[in-house]
Structure 1
Amino acid sequence: MNIDQAISGRHSTREYTTQAVDDEVIVRLIHAASLAPSAMNQQPWRFTVVRDQALLDRVSREAKACMLETLAPGSQSERFHALLDDEHFQIFYHAPVLILISADAPGQWVVEDCALAAENLMLSACAEGLGTCWIGFAQRYLNTPQGKQALKLAQAWVAVAPIIVGHPKHAPAPVAHQAPDIRWVG
């Protein structure tokens, strides 16, 4: 698969088989993530791999409660409330693997650095025939003392990109994208 195919073919996957993802594949994905550019070449990322479904279920419950406590009213809040109130909704979609990309300390560009690593990981997973999804519902909770303790993260770390990985049950439907708004200056 070439890079254009990976970019156009990568879509968020929310339905997974129970098939495990091999350790060697996970290591390749993390290696691809670690090749991302970073500000001043600081490479602040740290990778936490979680496969324990009971732990992911617990983190899902606690993250949903955290989101409900802090959800600001807005255009999506009713939709989010309905999802987060549903006891059967598991925010990790029962994917076999969560790879959390964290920064080793707060810093001016750590979010951007970890987001670049996340994109590399997701494109690499697509090239491997795997599905991924960045789980925004987990981010706030994973930056609380309780969330950090649940995943054994150092308290100084900043959880940035919770990415689920697995074998898709079926190919995700393509998503329509708007044409880019390009302005030429000068």
Structure 2
Amino acid sequence: MDLEQAIYGRRATRAYTHEAIDPAVLEAVIDAAIQAPSAMDGQPWGFCILRNPALLDRIADEAKALMLRNPSPGLALHRFEEMLENPDFHIFYHAPALILICSTKDSPWSQIDCILAAQNLMLAAYGKGLGTCWIGFAQSWLETDEGRAALGLPATWRPVAPIIVGRPSGGEPAPPRQKPELLWRD
């Protein structure tokens, strides 16, 4: 698959098969992630890979409860409240794996560097026939002491990008893109 095909074809996947993803495939998409540029070549990323369904279920439940108790600033909770209150809604969509990209260094650019790695990871996964979705609903809980302890994260690691990975169970329609605002300064 060429790069343009991956960029235009990749979509947020919210329906997965139960097929486990081979660790070598997960390592390959992480290897693609670390090819991302980073400020001053700091490479400030670490990757926590979760494949334990019970732990994924626990995190999903805890994250939903935290979002309802303490919504993230700027989140229009009224848009998501019914979904988050639904006991059948699983924030990870029952994907077989979660790759949590964490910043490992305290620098002004480490979060941006991890986001660049996340984009590479998602494009590489798509190139291997996998679906991905960045799960913002998990972010707040993963940053708590309880969340960090559940994952055994080192003290210096800061969660940045929780991305689920799995085999899509169906095609995702391409949402229409708005025309970009361009300010030409010739």
- TM-score over 0.5 for the alignment? yes
Deviation sequence 1:16-37 (CA, Å, 0-9, x none): 0001111111111000001100
* AA aligned opposite 1:180: P
Kindly state the Cα deviation for residue 105 of structure 1 after the two structures are TM-superposed.
3.3
Aligned to 1:107: 107
Aligned pairs for 1:5-154 (under 5 A) are: 5-71=5-71, 76-154=76-154
Task: Supply the RMSD in Å over aligned alpha carbons.
Answer: 1.3
Give yes or no for contact 2:72–2:140 (8 Å, CA) kept in 1: no
Deviation sequence 1:75-116 (CA, Å, 0-9, x none): 731122111111111110000010000011332111111000
Kindly state the Cα deviation for residue 166 of structure 1 after the two structures are TM-superposed.
0.3
Which structure 2 residue ranges, 5 or more long, are not aligned?
none
Deviation sequence 1:103-133 (CA, Å, 0-9, x none): 1133211111100000000000111011000
Kindly state the Cα deviation for residue 156 of structure 1 after the two structures are TM-superposed.
2.5
Write the distance in 2 (CA, Å) between the matches of 1:170 and 1:91: 18
Matched position secondary structure for 2:78: helix
Which structure 1 residue ranges, 5 or more long, are not aligned?
none
User: How many residue pairs were aligned?
Assistant: 186
Write the distance in 1 (CA, Å) between the matches of 2:73 and 2:159: 24
The sequence identity of aligned pairs, in percent, is 50
Write the distance in 1 (CA, Å) between the matches of 2:143 and 2:105: 12
TM norm structure 2 = 0.96
TM norm structure 1 = 0.96
